[in-house]
Amino acid sequence: MKRLVQILYGLLAGWLVLAGVGWPVSADTSEQKLAWFRDAKFGLFLHWGPASLTGKELSWSRMGARPGDIVALQEVPVEVYDNLYKDFNPVKFNAAEWVRIAQDAGMKYLVIITKHHDGFSMFHTKHSEYGIANTPFGRDIVKELADACHRAGLRFGVYYSQRDWYHPEYLKGNNANYAEFLHNQVRELLSNYGKVDIVWFDSFGRSDLVKDWKVYELLDMIHKLQPAALVNNRLAILGDYNKGPRDLWGDYDTPEERIGSFQHGRAWESCMTLVGRQWSYRPGGRMYTREETIRHLVNTATGDGNLLLNVGPTPAGEIEPRQVERLREVGQWLTRYGESIYSTRGGPFRNGKWGGSTYRGKTIYLHVIDWGASRLDLPPLKAKITKWASLTGGKATLVQTASGIRIIMPVEGRDPVDTILRLDLDGPAMSEIPAGVPLAVPASNP
Residue whose C-beta lies closest to ligand H79: 72
Considering CB under 6 A, how many residues would be counted as binding ligand H79? 9
Distance CA 129, CA 125 (A): 8
Nearer to ligand H79, 269 or 304 (CB): 269
368 contacts: CB under 8 Å, gap ≥ 6: 354, 355, 376, 407, 409, 414, 418, 419, 420, 421
Using the rule CB under 6 A, give the single segment among 67-75, 209-217, 220-228, 409-417 that binds ligand H79. 67-75
Q: How many CB atoms lie within 10 A of CB 173?
A: 9
| 15 touches 24 (CB < 8 A) | no
Q: How far is the CB of 98 from ligand H79 (least distance, A)?
A: 18
Q: Decide whether 279 or 359 has the Cβ nearer to ligand H79.
A: 279
11, 72, 91, 316: residue in contact with ligand H79 (rule CB under 6 A): 72
202 in contact with ligand H79 (CB under 6 A) = yes
Query: What 3-state class would DSSP assign to 257?
Result: coil
Looking only at residues 357 through 416 of this chain, which bind ligand H79 when binding is defined by CB under 6 A?
none
- What H or E segment, with its residue span, contains residue 299? helix 290-301
**Alpha-carbon torsion 335, 340, 345, 346, what sign?**
negative
Query: Phi/psi at 121 (nearest 5 deg)?
Result: -90, 125
According to CB under 6 A, which residues from 246 to 265 bind ligand H79? 256
- State the nearest-atom distance from the C-beta of 204 to ligand H79, in Å: 11
Of the candidate residues 60, 123, 156, 268, the single one contacting ligand H79 (CB under 6 A) = 60
Local structure of 346: helix, strand or coil: strand
User: Which CB atom, from 273 or from 302, has the smaller least distance to ligand H79?
Assistant: 273
d(CA 325, CA 290): 10
In whole angstroms, the minimum distance from the beta carbon of 57 to ligand H79 comes to: 5
Q: Closest Cα to residue 110, out of 31, 198, 38, 187? A: 198
Least distance from ligand H79 to the Cβ atom of residue 70, Å:
6
**Which of 53, 54, 56, 57 lies at the binding interface for ligand H79 (CB under 6 A)?**
57
Per-residue contact string for residues 162-201; x = within reach of ligand H79 by CB under 6 A: ----------------------------------------
Select from 45, 254, 270, 233 the least CA-distant residue to 155. Answer: 45
The C-alpha angle 273, 56, 317, rounded to 5 degrees, equals 75
Q: Which stretch binds ligand H79 (CB under 6 A): 69-77, 128-136, 137-145, 328-336?
A: 69-77
CB of 112 to ligand H79, least distance (A): 12
Binding mask 268-307 for ligand H79 (x = CB under 6 A): ---x-------x----------------------------
Q: Taking Cα atoms as reference points, which of 294, 300, 442 lies closest to residue 375?
A: 442
CB of 238 to ligand H79, least distance (A): 8
Binding stretches for ligand H79 (CB under 6 A):
57, 60, 70, 72-73, 202, 256, 271, 279
